[in-house]
Amino acid sequence: MVKKIKKENSVSSKSSKIRVKPDPKEDPWKTYTIVLGVLLVLSILTNGFGISEGVSSLLSGSGPKKVNLDGKLLIEEYSDFECPFCQRAYPTVKQILSEYDNVELVFKHFPLSFHPLAQKAAEASECARDQGKFSEYHDRLFEAKTLDSASLKKHAVDLGLNTAKFNSCLDSGEKASVVQKDFTEGQSKGVSGTPTFFIGGEKVVGAQPYESLKAVIDRHLAGEDQPTQPTQPTQPTEPSEYSGNMDNDPVKGSSSAKVVIIEWSDFQCPFCSKFYSETLPQIQKNYIDTGKVRFVYRDFPLSSIHPQAAPAAEAAECANEQGKFWEFHDKIFENQGSLSDSNYKAWARELGINGAKFDNCVDTRKYQSEVQNDFNEGSSQSGVTGTPGFIVGVVQADGKTVVGQQVRGAVPYSTFVLAIEAELAKA
């Protein structure tokens, strides 16, 4: 694995010093010779133009990257060193790299905001890369599973790095911008959770089993076209059951319904908006309004990428205080491009909410802890890593706990039908 995990960079300082300024008056064969010489030097410096430390800019054109300059199938992995699903994917990726000589893995950082150690771990791996030990450090982080600052520095010692140089790099935060660049790039490509892979440009979401990733790789190596929709897990491979708590969060549907859908959502998330507009109306008509299913909304604001998600969630809780949660919920999603405190207050008045009481609730951030509690329970207890995330299951005897299956992402209505019907059969 050490040979194959590589990290894209900007053009190295060695490469940037090479300049070719041909004089148009010179013999053209001399110009061609110079150009060929430069290409030869670049090839030597960059392992034959692999995805390595000198040539990522050569691949920065538009469109998804399918192969590297050696002709190997390119796999990009957006990952988070603290993510349990990335931990689960780690041995699968190792197996792929050990069995395929014609693929190349590029590791990209995507530290999620609810993993407090992920950002520094990513920066530490970049500090290790400066000393030629990115792959070894990457493996150590996933295998040791200790990511506090002291452990990050001890890993460097164990791997024989120059500790003074490493510690200075880590403590200064100089690699934060490198990590942020990966994160921003991931956002632009629609990444919202980890791990997310792009295999030959095809998006594959989640800790998929080896056989699933192998099927995608083999299809691309055979030259077959990718499907029109990204490959996403609609149900987990393990564990087989997930649990969630309804807490005291907003609910719609009959209180006697045994099957419950808990949604963890982010008001600024475009995929949550897609679920709201395309899928929820069908669930509402066929299952909620018919008394078969209850629907619970819980907050999961991805604040690091959606700055208005938490304020919007808090405002919705303030509306809930006056019995207008679902009206406010709909208003936000129908005006997702206009999220601001001033608009929340204006919308409250449009919906007949007591303005003074609402304003005070929003200004004092009365429900900040409630929103954070939803987030914490979703990530720590229910395996939620991105939005929208769902548990479809049967409510237990305590009236609060829901046990069932997890559904990830803005999947089609048909996926929910399969999950709901399976749970109805158990109820």
236 is a domain residue: no
Task: Give residue 378's domain range.
Answer: 242-426
pLDDT above 70: residue 67: no
Residues 199 and 300 placed together within one structural domain of the fold: no
Of residues 3 and 84, the one with the higher pLDDT is: 84
Residues 271 and 342 placed together within one structural domain of the fold: yes
Least confident of 48-57, 202-211, 339-348: 48-57
Residue (of 271, 342, 346) closest to 305 by Cα position: 271
213 is a domain residue: yes
Of residues 232 and 33, the one with the higher pLDDT is: 33
Residue 97: band (very low, low, confident or very high) from pLDDT cuts 50, 70, 90: very high
Of residues 318 and 6, the one with the higher pLDDT is: 318
Residue 39: band (very low, low, confident or very high) from pLDDT cuts 50, 70, 90: low
227 is a domain residue: no
Residues 265 and 192 placed together within one structural domain of the fold: no
Residues 314 and 364 placed together within one structural domain of the fold: yes
- Per-residue pLDDT at 226: 55
- Per-residue pLDDT at 150: 95
378 is a domain residue: yes
Residues 172 and 270 placed together within one structural domain of the fold: no
Number of domains in the chain: 2
248 is a domain residue: yes
Residues 176 and 260 placed together within one structural domain of the fold: no
What is the distance between the alpha carbons of residues 139 and 1, in angstroms, rounded to a whole number?
Answer: 9
- Per-residue pLDDT at 235: 40
199 is a domain residue: yes
pLDDT tens readout for residues 242-263: 888 888 899 999 999 999 999 9
229 is a domain residue: no
Region 220-233: mean pLDDT is 62
Residues 255 and 112 placed together within one structural domain of the fold: no
Residue (of 134, 109, 112, 131) closest to 122 by Cα position: 109
Q: What angle do CA 302, 308, 311 make, to 5 degrees?
A: 100
User: Hey, which of 58-62, 267-271, 376-380 has the most confident mean pLDDT?
Assistant: 267-271
Domain boundary pick from 221, 252, 273 = 221
Residues 297 and 208 placed together within one structural domain of the fold: no
- The Cβ of residue 4 has, within 10 Å, a number of other Cβ atoms equal to 19
Residues 107 and 178 placed together within one structural domain of the fold: yes
Least confident of 323-327, 351-355, 378-382, 413-417: 378-382
pLDDT tens readout for residues 331-380: 999 999 999 999 999 999 999 999 999 999 999 999 999 999 999 888 88
Region 191-203: mean pLDDT is 90
Residues 211 and 267 placed together within one structural domain of the fold: no
Residue 179: band (very low, low, confident or very high) from pLDDT cuts 50, 70, 90: very high
Q: What is the CATH number of the domain that holds 280?
A: 3.40.30.10
- Per-residue pLDDT at 69: 53
Region 139-149: mean pLDDT is 93
pTM for this predicted structure: 0.49
Residues 209 and 281 placed together within one structural domain of the fold: no
Residues 88 and 177 placed together within one structural domain of the fold: yes
What is the distance between the alpha carbons of residues 264 and 301, in angstroms, rounded to a whole number?
Answer: 9
Domain boundary pick from 189, 221, 253 = 221
Region 150-176: mean pLDDT is 96
Is 28 exposed, middle or buried (CB count within 10 Å of its CB: 0-12, 13-18, 19+)?
exposed
- The Cβ of residue 373 has, within 10 Å, a number of other Cβ atoms equal to 15
Is 40 exposed, middle or buried (CB count within 10 Å of its CB: 0-12, 13-18, 19+)?
exposed
> Which amino acid is residue 20, in one-letter code?
V
136 is a domain residue: yes
- Residues belonging to the chain: 427
Cis peptide before 195 (omega within 30 of 0): yes
